[in-house]
Structure 1
Amino acid sequence: MSDVLDARTRDEIDDQVAEAFDAYLADRLTERGPLRTALASRRSAAVVLGTIGTGALATALAPAGAAVACYWIWGAIAAVDLTWLLTAGRR
């Protein structure tokens, strides 16, 4: 019985966390900044999503011992995305 109660409690907590995160994102999207600028410009959002998709694919295809390479890949993705987002508002 306690396992069922624990599962229900976990589900309720997950729902509350998801709702809080949605509210947080809604508030953040009303603020000025690189995220809002990127979402307003479809081109910038496509580049960011493309680099994240490429990184996810590269990580999924990486051999088991290539964790260090994955760190470098994600570091490069973060640098490209941040540069792209910060310069998107200047175009």
Structure 2
Amino acid sequence: MSESLDAQTRDEIDDQVAEAFDAYLADRLAEPGPLRASLASSRSTRLVLGTVGLGALATALAPDGNIVVCWIWGAIAVTNVAWLLTARHR
């Protein structure tokens, strides 16, 4: 009997934690911000997906040197961050 009570108590706690986490995420998603604004724009999504696709292609075609791959992904990161910052000011 004690084991089933413990399992039931754990289930109730898990449910309460899940509900609190859901409420927290809903509040965070309702807040304005650059990431939320960029996700609302399909143009931003295309840019991010395009740069990641080009980065994957460039990584596959890059020579064995890791320096080249690091520069490629660094440029992609700078491009995407700059895009997020400009999207926020629109």
Deviation at 1:49, TM superposition (A): 1.3
* 1:82 and 2:78 matched: no
Aligned pairs for 1:1-91 within 5 A: 27=25, 29-63=29-63, 65-91=64-90
Q: Which amino acid aligns with 1:35?
A: L
Q: Which amino acid aligns with 1:53?
A: G
Query: What residue ranges of structure 1 are gaps of 5+ in the alignment?
Result: 1-22
C-alpha distance 62-43 of structure 1, shift in aligned 2 (>3 A) = same
Q: What is the Cα-based RMSD across aligned positions, in Å?
A: 2.4
Runs of 4+ in 1 over 6 A off after TM superposition: none
CA distance in 1, matches of 2:51, 2:37: 18
* TM-score (ref. length: structure 1): 0.63
Q: Which amino acid aligns with 2:31?
A: E
C-alpha distance 29-70 of structure 1, shift in aligned 2 (>3 A) = farther
